[in-house]
Amino acid sequence: MEHLVEEDGVCLVRADHPRITEKIDFDSYFAEEHIALRIRRGEQNTLDYLAQTPLPLRKVKIETSSISSMLLLASTTDFVAASNRSLAEKLAPSLGLKIYEFPFELKPLRYNLIFHRRYLNDPFHKQKREQIHQVFANS
């Protein structure tokens, strides 16, 4: 395994959301209805796993296994979505979404390159890993 990059998570709502306009505070965030990522770590959902401290229950109205579908749903509803920053910054303008910082602390999202140890010294595989590292270093 090799570490590639870390980035932060953000929350998003449609640009003309009726209640969230300038920023989202802790109480407002949990008062809203949410779209959640259907990925679990043990019994925790993704956001609870990444939170630095325990969070109140969210009002999850839709679960999806795709961040891009989550953002599409957020663009046509009043639900709050979550994403990694790089994807949010790429898709938010074309979907009419506004990006906000989370109103609580999250662990950074870590991206790792995972491969079988038999490829550790394989010249071709090593070259491809270096190319992947370069792509992430330049983005």
Residue 1 forms part of a structural domain: no
- Residue 138: the pLDDT is 85
| Predicted TM-score of the model (pTM) | 0.87
Task: Quote the number of domains for the chain.
Answer: 1
- Residue 122: the pLDDT is 96
What CATH number should be reported for the domain holding residue 73? 3.40.190.10
The per-residue pLDDT for range 37-87, each reduced to its tens digit, is 987 667 778 888 899 999 999 999 999 999 999 999 999 999 999 999 999
Residue 131 forms part of a structural domain: no
On the question of pLDDT at 90 being above 90, the answer is yes
Residue 50 domain boundaries: 8-108
Could you give the CA distance from residue 91 to residue 68 in angstroms, rounded to a whole number? 8
Residue 20 forms part of a structural domain: yes
